[in-house]
């Protein structure tokens, strides 16, 4: 499809789709990061501090912070997100009063971990598997965020196995690591009610389900029980922890699956299985040692080992009296996200914290410093329409905050109490919303308060380009979800490569509403340049930017502009929020 000018109204009702996928890629780099060790390149830091919406126990947040390690990281090659499990101890084996416990779950044993480790937040998905190996062994296909299954223990090991090909120190958990992380401090047979936390034969419909749909445990881990049984590393021994295994060719599966009876999906249950067995109920979850994720044990901003933190004094978040609406996540830019020294200097020069979370909605925002850029059609861009021309100089004089991601369905529902999206998943972007739904008197921005707003067109393109003069800030399939790579649906936010300001999905996934009225001759008014362009004072259409899952890759460009009636809704229309400090 090609529009000039682009008016999407006739196509609003036809945006349909059904399947999900998830994968990730490395962020764009202008220069090498300050830490040269090779292992750092294997992982991207997603969040230094635990999200209190995920890790709700303050004591557990303190324990995680006391390690001095980032809470959430992403393995770049596979796109797997891992979270930190802090050191601690627990009682392994049959839970007290568990009548369903088997003999091989006894006797109970006290186990202590002196060092923490990282573990996959979800089971490995088919999309993540295919980023490492060329063939999908799964029986239940159709969505890339379904767990991979049909894999044997042997498929995961050896030079051609998933773990070796993925590299970065990924491995299977030991039984003790699996149960320690799975329990997450709980002592019962399950960490909550069966229906709320797992897929089994009672509710699965005889198949797997997309990862992350059930309630997580206290460490933020989804599907620890049910969906697919998860391979552990060591040979099976009848008594847990026994040094002499009964068989060197039987391994252990934990957690139960979609095909298991409900009582089999218990935290201490152990399933012996021949290591070469492939079955549609067998999958995996990965772990990584601290050394593998942060070679040498250095944290992001350290050049030398830090003094151990006092867990009672370690702040999880800080507050800035100038930003009463926000929790400050990071004062200084993370050099693994903002890799350009120049951008880090410009952000620091504003005097505002780099990364914050809006307290009411939970939206994460990052600071965009003032600057200049050339707005409009990039040189040599043959896909550019007339309303993107002529290119002209724009000056942004004030810093502003912009959502690091498109607003998710979870964030929308926290504010509005309902989810209008067609492709329902809490981590997918909100869609099927109009400009009025976002901007109206009873809309999301008004209810969220604290000055949240839509970005202007000038702000949006400045932030999207992040200093890049090309139509895109990277190869289209690495930075954007479009009709050619997304299996006809929105995708979880943040899985495509970020731009040089740390912003994900500026191109693709969903179109993003801007504040401005649309005018096809707006750029003709500013051939000599413009400062803080306010946009037209009136009009009939509002502006969407960035492209979406439903449209061709050629629409995923920094300069593209489309005109839509402010009352129109579609499954490809979403938003990203801004705020002036």
Q: What is the pLDDT of residues 417-428, one digit of tens each?
A: 999 999 998 889
Give me the pLDDT at residue 241, please: 53
Tokens read off for 104: 């091989």
Q: Is residue 118 within 8 Å of residue 73, measured between CB atoms?
A: yes
Q: Is residue 308 situated within a structural domain?
A: no
Q: What gap in Å lies between CA 452 and CA 194, rounded to an integer? A: 39
What distance lies between CA 244 and its chain's CA centroid? 41
* Secondary structure E strands in 404-449: none
Which residue is it, tokens 């042997």?
154
Q: What is the pLDDT of residues 90-132, one digit of tens each?
A: 999 988 888 888 899 989 999 999 999 999 999 999 999 999 9
Q: What is the pLDDT of residues 131-149, one digit of tens each?
A: 999 999 999 998 889 999 9
Q: What gap in Å lies between CA 78 and CA 166, rounded to an integer? A: 7
Give me the pLDDT at residue 430, please: 98
Q: How many CA atoms lie within 13 A of 475 on its CB side?
A: 5
Please check whether residues 288 and 373 belong to one and the same domain.
Answer: no
Please check whether residues 59 and 177 belong to one and the same domain.
Answer: yes
Q: What gap in Å lies between CA 86 and CA 357, rounded to an integer? A: 24
Q: What gap in Å lies between CA 28 and CA 464, rounded to an integer? A: 13
Q: Is residue 489 situated within a structural domain?
A: yes
Instruction: Determine phi and psi for 34, rounding to 5 degrees.
Output: -70, -20
Q: Is residue 426 situated within a structural domain?
A: yes
Please check whether residues 321 and 266 belong to one and the same domain.
Answer: no
Q: What is the pLDDT of residues 252-266, one digit of tens each?
A: 999 999 999 998 899
Which of 292, 325, 341 corresponds to the end of one domain?
A: 292
Q: What gap in Å lies between CA 156 and CA 432, rounded to an integer? A: 41
Please check whether residues 373 and 280 belong to one and the same domain.
Answer: no
Q: How many domains does one find in the chain? A: 2
Q: Is residue 110 situated within a structural domain?
A: no
Please check whether residues 54 and 203 belong to one and the same domain.
Answer: yes
**Predicted confidence band of residue 22 (pLDDT cuts 50, 70, 90):** very low
Q: Which residues contact 207 (CB under 8 A, 6 or more apart)?
A: 140, 258
Give me the pLDDT at residue 8, please: 55
Residue 260: give its domain's CATH number. Answer: 3.90.1580.10
Q: Is residue 545 situated within a structural domain?
A: yes
Please check whether residues 279 and 401 belong to one and the same domain.
Answer: no
Please check whether residues 566 and 513 belong to one and the same domain.
Answer: yes
Give me the pLDDT at residue 35, please: 33
Tokens read off for 245: 């295994």
Please check whether residues 190 and 331 belong to one and the same domain.
Answer: no
Please check whether residues 287 and 340 belong to one and the same domain.
Answer: no
Among the residues of 314-360, which ranges form H helices?
Answer: 341-349
Tokens read off for 479: 């930075």
**Predicted confidence band of residue 327 (pLDDT cuts 50, 70, 90):** confident
**Predicted confidence band of residue 3 (pLDDT cuts 50, 70, 90):** very low
Q: Residue 578: enclosing H or E segment and its boundaries?
A: strand 578-579
Please check whether residues 573 and 510 belong to one and the same domain.
Answer: yes
Q: Is residue 102 situated within a structural domain?
A: no
Give me the pLDDT at residue 299, please: 34
Q: Is residue 225 situated within a structural domain?
A: yes
Please check whether residues 389 and 278 belong to one and the same domain.
Answer: no
Query: pTM surpassing 0.85?
Result: no
pLDDT averaged over every residue in the chain: 87
Q: What share of the chain has pLDDT > 70, as a percent?
A: 87
Q: Which of 167-171, 401-405, 424-428, 566-570 has the lowest mean pLDDT?
A: 424-428
Please check whether residues 510 and 408 belong to one and the same domain.
Answer: yes
Tokens read off for 90: 């627990």
Q: Is residue 213 situated within a structural domain?
A: yes
Per the structure, the complete domain to which residue 129 belongs is given by: 50-96+117-292
Q: Is residue 258 within 8 Å of residue 228, measured between CB atoms?
A: yes
């Amino acid at each position: 499809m090609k529009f000039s000018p682009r008016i999407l109204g006739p196509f609003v009702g036809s945006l349909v789709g059904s399947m999900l996928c998830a994968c990730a890629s490395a962020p764009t780099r202008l220069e090498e990061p300050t830490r040269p060790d090779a292992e750092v390149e294997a992982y991207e830091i997603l969040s230094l501090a635990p999200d209190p919406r995920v890790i709700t126990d303050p004591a557990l947040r303190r324990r995680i912070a006391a390690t001095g390690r980032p809470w959430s990281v992403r393995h770049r090659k596979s796109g797997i997100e891992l979270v930190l499990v802090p050191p601690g101890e627990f009682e392994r084996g049959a839970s007290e009063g568990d009548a369903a416990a088997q003999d091989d779950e006894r006797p109970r044993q006290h186990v202590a971990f002196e060092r923490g480790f990282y573990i996959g937040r979800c089971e490995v998905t088919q999309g993540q598997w295919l980023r490492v190996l060329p063939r999908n062994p799964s029986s239940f296909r159709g969505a890339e965020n379904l767990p991979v299954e049909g894999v044997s223990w042997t498929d995961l090991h050896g030079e051609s196995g998933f773990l070796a090909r993925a590299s970065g120190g990924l491995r299977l958990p030991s039984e003790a690591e699996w149960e320690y992380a799975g329990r997450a401090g709980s002592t019962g047979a399950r960490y909550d009610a069966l229906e709320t936390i797992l897929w089994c034969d009672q509710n699965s419909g005889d198949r797997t389900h997309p990862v992350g749909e059930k309630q997580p445990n206290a460490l933020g881990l989804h599907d620890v029980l049910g969906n697919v049984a998860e391979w552990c590393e060591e040979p099976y021994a009848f008594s847990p922890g026994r040094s002499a295994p009964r068989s060197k060719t039987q391994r252990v599966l934990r957690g139960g699956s979609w095909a298991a009876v409900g009582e089999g999906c218990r935290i201490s249950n152990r399933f012996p299985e021949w290591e070469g067995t492939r079955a549609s109920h067998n999958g995996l979850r990965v772990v990584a040692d601290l050394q593998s994720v942060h070679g040498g044990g250095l944290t992001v901003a350290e050049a030398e080992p830090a003094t151990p933190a006092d867990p009672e004094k370690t702040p999880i978040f800080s507050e800035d009296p100038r930003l009463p609406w926000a929790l400050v996540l990071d004062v200084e830019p993370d050099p693994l996200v903002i890799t350009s020294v120049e951008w880090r200097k410009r952000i620091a020069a504003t005097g505002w914290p780099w990364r914050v979370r809006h307290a009411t909605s939970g939206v994460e925002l990052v600071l965009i410093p003032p600057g200049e850029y050339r707005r409009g059609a990039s040189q040599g861009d043959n896909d550019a329409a007339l309303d993107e021309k002529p290119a002209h100089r724009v000056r942004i004089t004030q810093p502003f905050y912009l959502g690091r991601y498109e607003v998710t369905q979870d964030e929308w529902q926290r504010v509005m109490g309902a989810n209008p999206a067609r492709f329902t998943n809490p981590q997918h972007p909100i869609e099927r919303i109009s400009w009025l739904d976002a901007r109206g008197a009873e809309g999301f921005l008004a209810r969220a308060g604290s000055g949240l707003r839509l970005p202007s067109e000038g702000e949006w393109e400045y932030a999207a380009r992040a200093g890049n003069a090309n139509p895109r800030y990277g190869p289209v399939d690495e930075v954007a979800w479009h009709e050619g790579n997304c299996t006809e649906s929105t995708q979880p936010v943040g899985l495509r490569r970020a731009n040089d300001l740390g912003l994900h999905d500026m191109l693709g996934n969903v179109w993003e509403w801007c504040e401005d009225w649309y005018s096809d001759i707006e750029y003709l008014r500013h051939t000599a340049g413009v400062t803080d362009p306010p946009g037209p004072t009136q009009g009939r259409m509002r502006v969407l930017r960035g492209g979406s899952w439903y449209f061709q890759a050629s629409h995923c460009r920094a300069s593209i502009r489309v005109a839509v009636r402010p009352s129109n809704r579609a499954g490809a229309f979403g938003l990203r929020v801004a705020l002036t400090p």
